[in-house]
Amino acid sequence: MPLAERKKRRWWGLLILLAMIIGWAYIFFTGQGGWFELQAERETLAELESEVTALETTNDSLREVLWRMENDPAFVERMAREEYGLVLPGEHLYRLIKRDSAAVTADSLPASD
């Protein structure tokens, strides 16, 4: 086989090999289940794991509140007073309203005689 034909055949072989490598790389990076999709799924997984952690923390605190509501009468009384404004019979509830000092004008002050 002449030298020119062997060089030509070698170039065709290298060209086919290069095309196969490029095709494999394209499929590896962009195909279904490829590297880019895998990275996106990893980000989604990380976000979901942090959301699960936050929800578990919330769940634990709600379990603690539930336990205290069932077992701690002082906690129930405090919640009833602070959250719902309830009072025991014979008690009076006074609510103090803060005035914004900038909103107080001479017209809103009581007249002095």
Q: What is the predicted pLDDT for the residue at 111?
A: 55
Q: What is the predicted pLDDT for the residue at 31?
A: 77
- The residue ranges of the chain whose pLDDT is under 50 are 113
Residue 81 lies in a domain: yes
Question: What type of residue is 86?
Answer: L
Residue 70 lies in a domain: yes
Condensed to tens digits (0 to 9), the pLDDT of residues 74-92 reads: 999 999 988 888 888 998 8
Q: What is the predicted pLDDT for the residue at 66?
A: 96
Residue 79 lies in a domain: yes
Token output for 110: 């009581």
**Boundaries of domain holding 78:** 32-87
Q: What is the predicted pLDDT for the residue at 102?
A: 58
Q: What is the predicted pLDDT for the residue at 104?
A: 53
Residue 17 lies in a domain: no
Residue 73 lies in a domain: yes
- Number of separate domains in the chain: 1
Residue 42 lies in a domain: yes
Which letter does DSSP use for residue 109 in this model? S
The pTM score is 0.51
Q: What is the b/e burial string over 51-64, where b = at least 16 CB atoms within 10 angstroms of the residue's CB?
A: eeeeeeeeeeeeee
Between CA 8 and CA 12 the distance in angstroms is 6
